[in-house]
Every structure is written in C-alpha cells, then in structure tokens.
Amino acid sequence: MKKIIKIMLVLCVSMMWAMSTYATEGEMVYEYGDEGIVNESVELSVPVTAGKDYSVTVEFTGVTDAASKINLGYDMVINDQMVPNVDGSNDRSGLIDETVVVGTVESRTFSVAATSDTLTIKANGSGKITKITVKPLEIKKEDKTVIFTIGDSLVQTYTDYYAPQTGWGQTLQDYFDVNKVVVANHALGGRSSGSFMREGRLNQVLINVKPGDFVLVEFGHNDASKDKVDRYTSVEDYKLYLKEQYIIPIEQRGGIPVLVTLCNRNDYNQSTGQFNVSFERYVVAMREVAEETGTLLVDLNARTVKEFTELNNKYGIGITEEIIFNHADAGEYDGAYADGVADNTHLQKYGAKLVGGFVAEGLCELDIDVLKDAYVASAVSGDKPSTPSNLQALSKIRTLRKIGWDECKGADFYQIYVAEVVDGKTGEYELVGLATTNSYVYGKADAKATYKFKVVAVNGAGESKESEELLYEPVGGKKNKVNEETTATMENTDEGGLNAYVIIGIVAAIVVVVGVIAGVVVKKKKKLQTGR
C-alpha cells in the first residue's frame, strides 16, 4: 500500500510541471514549457519502477540566439570525464557541455537502471529541456551465470602494455568453467565507491544483471584518498553507498551482491614480516555492512594479510616484492614499465593469479551450488612445470647480475639457488630469491667469487626437477660443458660493451705503435679490470 501511495504522489507531482504527458507502445513522453528552462540548475523527475531498466531520451534547446552550454545527469550519475579505458576506447558517462542555441533541438539517449521509483534528470547551465521520453529497455543478457566484478585498479583487466601489472579480476575466469560461469570484469583504476557510481559505471553493470548473477563489489583503496576530491569517500558515505546504491539495486534485479574486502598493500613489519592491515577503517566498514545487511562477504583482506605474511616467513622478508607486487627491473618488460617499477599497491601476474584464487575459493566457501559446480582449482591442479633448461649468464661482467633460462611450461614462478665454489669445492646451495619471469638479477655476487646456480620451476601442483647447474667464473676461462655444467666466463660482455679479448687486443696495438715511434719496448704487466 505504501508503495502504491508513493507512486501516486510521484505521478501527481509530475503532472504539476508537465505541459503534457502521453504514452506510446510502452513509452512515456513528458513535454515541458517554462518548467523545463535551465537557468543555473533544474531537476525534473519522472516515475519509473525500481529494479527496471529504461532507455531515456532528453531533448533540449537554447533560450537565446547566442550559443550556451547545458550539462545533463541523472540520479547519482553526474560526472563525465571522457576517461580512456585500458582497451584504448573512451567511456562517456554523463552529458556534459552540450552546445545549444534557440531554434535548434538536440537529443541525447542513454540507458538507465532505475534504483528507485523516481528518475530525476538533472541539468545546469543555460538552456531548456523540452521533452523527456522514457521507454522500457530490453537488453540481451548472457544465458550463463555471470560474475560481475566492480572495483578499482587491483581488480581491473590490463593489456600487455602494462605488464607485469595484472588485476585479480582478469584471472578470476581461470577458476571457473567458462561453459558454466562467465566473469565480466568492469573494474577500473582510480575509482572509489563514489566515483564508480557517479561516472555511470555501476549503472552499466546493473542494466546487464539478471536474476541469479553475482556482483562482486571491491572498493576502499581510492575511497581513502583525501587529497583527491573526485575519489574520496568518507567511511560513513562508504557504508551508505554500499547499502543503498550497490546492495539494494543489485538485489532489485535478482542479482546476488558479494562484498569483497580490499587486497592488502605490500606493507609489513620489516623485522617480523607480519603484514599490516591496509585502510583498516574501510575494511572494517565493509565487514560491518555485510553483517548489518546479511550480504555475502569474501574477506580478501584477511586472507591476503595471512598468506603474504606466510610468504615472508617461508621465503624471507621482502619476497612479496619479487613475486606478488608490481616490481620489475629496467629492461625486464617493454611498455609502461620499461624503465622498471617498484609499486607496493598493484599486483604482478603471479600475485593476481594467487589473489584471484583466494577470491574464487572464498566464493566457493559461501556454499553456493552453481559456483561450486563450476569451480576449477587451476592453481592447485594439473601437472608440475617442466624443468628449467639452457641456463646462461645474461649480464656478462665480472660481478654477475643477471642469469636467464628457457621459459618453463606451466610455471607460476621460479626458485633460484646459489652455491659458492671455493678451491673447486661446491658449498651448500641457498635459496636466494624467486622470479616470475625466466630471468633473475643476483645483486649480491662477490666480484672475485665463483658460483654455481640452479633453478626450480613452481606451480600449484608442485616443483619441477632441478635444472642443470650454471658455473660462473668471474675471470678467465672459456665457455664449455664440463660434467653437464655450463661455464660462463668473461669472454661474454654486456650489451653494447667490449669483451675482454677485444680490450686486450686494443691495448696490445697501442703498445706496438708506441714502441715503433719511440724505438723503445716497454714491458708492463697489466691487470685487466672491467665492471658496470
């Protein structure tokens, strides 16, 4: 009864300012006189049904012969930033800075997911709205169950140009049979619970949700950015938005909202390796909303804090820089991070795969049959990776800095072991680091020491066999195979550099020339030193 009374009131109010209202084949048309004049700002409301989707056309014109600007928005969608998406396209969300003159009628059509029984068209600037047409929207939706992911840069999908940066949303499909469940990743970097809504991105997700679909909501990193007005969302507003702008509209469409606490940053105690909780107020706020509303929750923050701490304990404090977060050396990748990167917020490929697996496991733990039936534990199934082969020195200088090997099929990351060789005897091998690509920089090499290296590939199914050993002698010797060991020597050089024999030849030539000119042969013992 209350809902009926509310609709009747909205209809009465609408009729007060509408010059005329008429319906044609399911559409409602509202025409305006002076009520549609935009002088600084105006709001015009039309009745709709919460949970339904509509195609809305707004017609407008100028009020003077001189050109003027009018800006349009609807409900909470009020921003238009022409933001470039990761696929290179531009996404226009609102209707900003439209030019109008008297006598010329412009029209703009956009899709709206109604979240209440009133759709409010907002306009500012100078002009006049002459007509609003509202028509039920029919969108062909995916037949399979869809998992929509919405959030920020920790979730979004990246092109190869941004390698190694990877969002966990782009790895989530790996954990579900695509013939049963489809993942649609709508997350975009720099967005908060507020800006994602204001730009119309939430609207675009809602119009595609059908009964039985899941919508994963992850925000918090950018909500806490007080220095960025377009992103910042107070904890109070954060909770309000989650409840009223995300959970309720998703449920109106028969969708199932799932709150996902934010993935933790690479922030830990330097002495103990224990991870500190990132943006804790927002993490706690999301847990509270889940409790208060009975909404499903995947506590990704708690899981990443636990798992990343265990990695520090297992492999040594700071290992998360090597295999989880977006760190890379200069020249390791082309594209955005060709000069290297040390980013403690975003994930690299293996980190995103691991975190995507945490989310998938969390969804299955909610005991939902359709997800459990479609789940494929790709991170812990299949065969062990192939054995690393063709180990070689990539930085050919006296202090070895980089080794490489052929990429291994099925490898998630690699373990690098080093042993020092003294007087021909090989010491104990020590795990010195991990790598997510088929190369490793060993910065602790002693300029005068001899080393042996070996590499093991790792994935969820286990470890490969150990590679053959790479023997590295910093001075003298030749490249050869000795007892299936590869010997790397100083005859190799850095890219663009000179090898030892070339340098020796140049020195010898200079000595000969000097001897001819002076008629004196000067013999000096020289010790060749090279370095970076």
Residue 234's pLDDT band (boundaries 50, 70, 90)? Answer: very high
Residue 435's pLDDT band (boundaries 50, 70, 90)? Answer: confident
Q: What is the mean pLDDT of residues 241-254?
A: 98
Q: Residue 207: name the closest of 7, 54, 402 by CA.
A: 54
pLDDT for the residue 524? 32
CATH topology for the 145-380 domain: Rossmann fold (3.40.50)
User: Using CA atoms, how far apart are residues 456 and 16, in angstroms rounded to an integer?
Assistant: 76
pLDDT in tens, 26-52: 889 999 999 999 998 899 999 999 999
- On the question of pLDDT at 24 being above 80, the answer is no
Between 480 and 306, the higher pLDDT residue = 306
Report whether 214 contacts 149 (CB < 8 A). Answer: no
Q: Which of 357-366, 378-387, 444-453, 522-531 has the highest mean pLDDT?
A: 357-366
Query: Of 45, 186, 346, 395, which residue is the catalytic one?
Result: 346
What are the residue boundaries of the structural domains of the chain, listed by start? 2-136, 145-380, 392-488
Q: What is the mean pLDDT of residues 200-219?
A: 95
- On the question of pLDDT at 497 being above 80, the answer is no
Residue 265's pLDDT band (boundaries 50, 70, 90)? Answer: very high
Helices (H), 299-402: 300-315, 319-323, 349-364, 369-374
Domain covering 2-136: architecture: Sandwich (2.60)
- On the question of pLDDT at 251 being above 60, the answer is yes
Of 21-25, 101-105, 494-498, the poorest mean pLDDT is in 494-498
Q: Residue 401: name the closest of 461, 445, 358 by CA.
A: 445
Between 4 and 385, the higher pLDDT residue = 385
CA 253 → CA 37, 52, 214, 305, 521, distances in Å? 35, 7, 11, 34, 94
pLDDT for the residue 449? 83
pLDDT for the residue 95? 75
pLDDT for the residue 275? 98
Assigned token pair, 446: 């002693």
pLDDT for the residue 462? 87
pLDDT in tens, 353-404: 999 999 999 999 999 999 999 999 755 556 889 999 999 887 655 455 678 9
At residue 71, what are phi and psi to the nearest 5 degrees?
A: -115, 135
CATH topology for the 392-488 domain: Immunoglobulin-like (2.60.40)
pLDDT in tens, 125-179: 999 999 999 999 988 888 999 999 999 999 999 999 999 999 999 999 999 999 9
- On the question of pLDDT at 259 being above 90, the answer is yes
The yes-or-no answer on residue 142 being catalytic is no
User: Using CA atoms, how far apart are residues 508 and 334, in angstroms rounded to an integer?
Assistant: 40
Identify the H or E element spanning 505.
helix 500-518
pLDDT in tens, 315-347: 889 999 999 999 988 888 889 999 999 999 999
Task: Work out the mean pLDDT of the chain and round it to a whole number.
Answer: 83
- On the question of pLDDT at 97 being above 70, the answer is yes
- Omega within 30 of 0 (cis) for the link into 257: no
Between 477 and 389, the higher pLDDT residue = 389
pLDDT in tens, 46-86: 999 999 999 999 999 999 889 999 988 888 888 765 455 55
Residue 496's pLDDT band (boundaries 50, 70, 90)? Answer: very low
pLDDT for the residue 339? 92
Identify the H or E element spanning 326.
strand 325-328
Model-level pTM? Answer: 0.78
Query: Of 332, 395, 464, 469, which residue is the catalytic one?
Result: 332
Query: Of 153, 192, 278, 395, which residue is the catalytic one?
Result: 153
The yes-or-no answer on residue 186 being catalytic is no
pLDDT for the residue 382? 67
Q: What is the mean pLDDT of residues 409-434?
A: 90
Q: What is the mean pLDDT of residues 12-25?
A: 46
Give the other-Cβ count within 10 Å of 76's Cβ.
19
- Residue 243 DSSP code: I
pLDDT for the residue 393? 84
Residue 22's pLDDT band (boundaries 50, 70, 90)? Answer: low
- The answer for residues whose C-beta is within 8 angstroms of residue 270's C-beta and 6 or more apart is 317
Q: Residue 69: name the closest of 124, 8, 143 by CA.
A: 124
User: Using CA atoms, how far apart are residues 434 and 441, in angstroms rounded to an integer?
Assistant: 10
- On the question of pLDDT at 468 being above 70, the answer is yes
Helices (H) and strands (E) in the chain, counts: 11, 28
Residue 494's pLDDT band (boundaries 50, 70, 90)? Answer: very low
Burial 446-471 (b: 16+ CB within 10 A, else e): eeeebbbbbbbbbbbeeebeebbbbb
User: Using CA atoms, how far apart are residues 220 and 50, in angstroms rounded to an integer?
Assistant: 27
pLDDT for the residue 81? 52
* Three-state secondary-structure class, residue 401: coil
Q: What is the mean pLDDT of residues 446-464?
A: 87
Share of the chain above pLDDT 70, in %: 79
User: Using CA atoms, how far apart are residues 458 and 408, in angstroms rounded to an integer?
Assistant: 9
Q: Would you put residue 125 in left (φ > 0), alpha (ψ -120 to 50) or beta? A: left
